Amino acid sequence: MQQTENINIEAFDPMPTPEEIHARVPMTEAAEKSVLAGRRTIEAILDRRDSRLFVVVGPCSIHDPVAGLDYARRLKALADLVSETLVLVMRVYFEKPRTSTGWKGYINDPRMDDSFHIEEGIEKAREFLLAVNEIGLPAGTEALDPISPQYLGDLIAWTAIGARTSESQTHREMSSGLSTPVGFKNGTDGSLDAATNAIISASKPHSFLGINAQGRSSVTRTRGNRYGHLVLRGGGDRPNYDTVSVAMAEAALAKAKLPSNIVIDCSHANSYKKPELQPLVMQDVVNQIRLGNKSIAGLMIESFIEAGNQSIPTDLSQLKYGCSVTDACVAWDTTEKMIREAHEALRGPLSSRKTA
């Protein structure tokens, strides 16, 4: 008999189960408090019971946990200063979708040498998330691999579904079972249909193949997630954070009978992937709120300690500390200025926002 399966599989390397990883890196009381507070606050913002904005801010991707925690401590201090108007959520992205090739992120390749020790990456990712939450910061991430949430989901307060995966049935089903609010990004061409359809789909119950805590293949049955919302990230060679684009997004959500909850991503196509334009995007969005916009519930910023980005060298000791190895970011001093200025500008306007 000729072989008919696994023809292109080289090996099946065993992975620790989610239960085993949880046992090695257990939840702590302080981290649990941070996760739950973050989720409840974001839900309250989306329900308009809290008039503040949430801001998902941090590196494009995590590659150095030391620099990442350095950033987290700075962000926590800033979060305390602006808490009257803004709820800061640290962007903690471990998985990077690739058009063709490139570093796939800390979970897939934690040693950054194409050795792909995923079993090591998932444990280190959990350790990092635990540390961020213990600092007192809620964490936001992109859900790319549908199995990862079983390992890490209890430490996440907000989840993004990317522009390339908002159309994916797998990711819509997964989102329906996530314990966090979920932001669906508009398509890379700028269209809103995939994201609005995803919000509707994720709000409904689903049944699909997944794994349980013991790592066993299971039929996963979900209740549906009512906290799906739209993330505008630009696309089709143009931004979509301006007043006309936001009004069109509001109309699309209303037509779909969805809550008018919009998050603006200051990076990606909204800034033409030029980090120096992110402050201008944020200023524009803040001004919309000052002029009375009530649909914008949050913002996203790609930010790290140092500005720009860098290639991954063969000799990892040559990596520049606190500088992104994926998309270019704004520096910490720029980040702090952006957030402080937004805080000052929004004090009055947000206090007058109608809450339930």
Give tens-digit pLDDT for 284-308: 999 999 999 999 999 999 999 999 9
Count CB-CB contacts under 10 A for residue 176.
25
- The answer to whether residue 192 scores a pLDDT higher than 50 is yes
Beta carbons within 8 Å of 186's beta carbon, 6+ residues apart = 163, 166, 192, 194, 195, 230, 231, 232, 233, 234, 235, 240
Q: How far apart are CA 248 and CA 217, in angstroms?
A: 42
CATH superfamily, domain at 45-351: Aldolase class I (3.20.20.70)
Question: What is the pLDDT confidence band of residue 355, given thresholds at 50, 70 and 90?
Answer: low
Q: What is the mean pLDDT of residues 217-228?
A: 98
pLDDT value at position 356? 42
For residue 330, pLDDT beyond 70: yes
Start-to-end CA distance of the chain, whole Å, equals 68
Per-residue model confidence (pLDDT) at position 351: 80
Q: Which tokens go with 345? A: 């500008």
- Output the pLDDT for position 101: 67
Q: Give mean pLDDT, residues 136-143.
A: 98
Per-residue pLDDT, 354: 58
Alpha helices in the chain (DSSP H): 18-24, 29-46, 65-81, 118-135, 148-152, 169-177, 193-202, 243-255, 278-290, 332-351
Q: Where are the domains of the chain?
A: 45-351
Residue 2: the pLDDT is 81
pLDDT of residue 96: 80
How many angstroms separate the CA atoms of 311 and 323, rounded? 10
Classify residue 199 as exposed, middle or buried by CB count within 10 Å of its CB (0-12, 13-18, 19+): buried
**Confidence category of residue 97, pLDDT binned at 50, 70, 90:** confident
Please state the rounded mean pLDDT for residues 154-165.
97
pTM beyond cutoff 0.75: yes
pLDDT at 110 exceeding the cut of 90: yes
Could you tell me which residues are beta bridge partners of residue 142?
160
pLDDT of residue 353: 76
What six digits make up the tokens of 149?
Answer: 């949430």
Share of the chain above pLDDT 70, in %: 98
Model pLDDT for residues 258-289, shown as the tens digit of each residue = 999 999 999 999 999 999 999 999 999 999 99
Question: How many CB atoms within 10 Å of residue 217?
Answer: 9
pLDDT of res. 156: 98
